[in-house]
Structure 1
Amino acid sequence: MSGTLYGIGVGPGDPELLTLKAARLIASCPVVAYPVLPGTDSFARRIAAAHIPPTAREIAMEVPMRPDRAPAQAAYDTGAAHLADALAAGQDVACLCEGDPLFYGSFMYLSARLSGRFPVVAVPGVTSLTAAAAAAQRPLAARNDSVAVLPGTLPEDVLTARIAAAETVAILKVGRHLPKIVAAVRGAGCLDQASYVERASIPGEERVCPLAQAPAEAPYFSMILISKGTDPWL
């Protein structure tokens, strides 16, 4: 009998936001896998470290982050092959993923490669979206509000148009795109309604401020929230 592949969302950064189910599965799987940028440590592993048993075999999958998709796709091919070997041998595999495995999560690429051959289970995790709202202490949405989730990688004119058309906006994948995003938010007339959240929930590293006061450079784990108050809830 083959093993089961578990795509486990480990949450946005605070180890205490790991779900009970995630902790149980990580502790019970003989193989623990996780993506990692070349030359760095795995953030997902750091979040879940307390629950990884010393006897577990760990598979670190190096995945480059570049505009060209080919290197990452090749890395997922290689990673999926390693996971397939373990699964074919009857071993359950816990694949760690920051946030939620199916919300901009790396696990989706592995699931697509392996779900036709092995049992695959996605275990939801706390997303950076809700963690950022909690850090900013502002509702993500209320009453009849709709929420637009936008990647900061979009062109500036597209961002401006979508921000202008939305009621509440969350912009992810900020990083090096921050100057372009600020320009788009300003162009949509929403700068005064925007908050900048950096490393939401990560102990000792979280930062929240108005977007107009954001630093010149932003880490990958940052987000911008815009609430226009279209539907008053108080």
Structure 2
Amino acid sequence: MSAGTVYGVGLGPGDPELMSVRADRLVRGASHVAFFRKAGRAGRARTLVEGMLRPDAVEIAMEYPVTTEIPLDDPAYAGNLSDFYAGIADRIRTLAESGADVVVLCEGDPFFYGSFMHLYTRVKDHVPVEVVPAITGMSAAWTATGIPVTWGDDVLCVLLGTMPEEDLARRMADADAVVVMKVGRNLPRVRRALEAAGKADRAWLVECASMAEERVIPLRDAGDQAAPYFSIVLVHGQGRRP
């Protein structure tokens, strides 16, 4: 029996109409659909495809053992997640080895800060794997501001709100345009780093880009409360123009 294929399918930033034609086709035809989620939640990826799955599709919910309960630098965090990814990789690989195609739903793009990457590295040498790219959340976010993010020879830097504040400020200062992901509870740190870099007055906060809950505001008006999970801070470039 020939092995089935594992498809890492990017669903885009949140609006189902921004899903690629290929992603739509694979989702609607899938016999086995896997998706990541936090325990007790429906999962954003699964919510995005509501009404699209075959009635007989087998759903595989892959529930994280930890999310924010343990600090990122705690060895237990990496250990828990490593065991989790190894376990689900074995399950997905076994399904594919039995001949089943498995569609893994991925928020945004599968190869851009996504959980699918950890599954991909564990199964790609055992069964066929195909990755379907998608529009990223940051692309939807800067589009939502109505302002081009880069001009001419602007340098764009993508940062994580979980980084040390000093590192954030240094990289922000060196870049022409900035995208900060993983904002959430790190919003005050991101704001301070932008102030240190002299870019706070040009920063925007975009929450839930392309989704029904989308909110776009200057960062100065956002306050210091934690931002929703799907939030991005942007600084647009001001580079060369004809």
Q: Secondary structure at the match of 1:51?
A: coil
Q: Partner of 1:219 in structure 2?
A: 228
Which aligned pairs between 1:78-157 and structure 2 lie closer than 5 A? Answer: 78-157=87-166
What is the TM-score normalised by the length of structure 2?
0.93
Alignment of 1:1-234 (within 5 A): 1-63=2-64, 64-66=66-68, 67=72, 68-203=77-212, 205-215=213-223, 216-229=225-238, 231-233=239-241
Structure 1 residue 148, shift from structure 2 partner:
0.4
The residue identity in structure 2 corresponding to 1:171 is: V
Inter-partner Cα distance in structure 2 for 1:2 and 1:113 = 16
SS at match of 1:59: strand
Moved over 4 A (4+): none
Confirm or deny: 8 A CA contact 1:61 1:79 kept in the other structure.
yes
**CA offset digits 1:125-155 (Å, max 9, x no partner):** 1100100011111112121111100011100
Shift of 1:91: 0.5
Cα shift at 1:50: 2.7
AA aligned to 1:164 is A
5+ residue gaps, structure 1, are none
Residue 17 of structure 1 aligns with an amino acid whose one-letter code is L
Q: Distance in 2 between matches of 1:208 and 1:172?
A: 15
Residue 213 of structure 1 aligns to which amino acid in structure 2? D
Q: Secondary structure at the match of 1:50?
A: coil
Distance in 2 of aligned mates of 1:69 and 1:219 = 24
C-alpha deviation, 1:40, in angstroms: 1.2
Deviation at 1:228, TM superposition (A): 4.2
Residue 184 of structure 2 contacts residue 231 of structure 2 at CA under 8 Å; is this kept in 1?
yes
- Partner amino acid, structure 2, of 1:56: A
Consecutive unaligned residues of structure 2, counting only runs of 5 or more, are none
Q: Percent identity?
A: 41
Q: Which amino acid is 1:225 matched to?
A: L
What is the root-mean-square deviation in Å for CA atoms of aligned residues?
A: 1.1
- Alpha-carbon contact 1:36-1:62 (below 8 Å) kept: yes
For residue 219 of structure 1, report the CA deviation from its aligned partner: 1.1
Q: Secondary structure at the match of 1:12?
A: coil
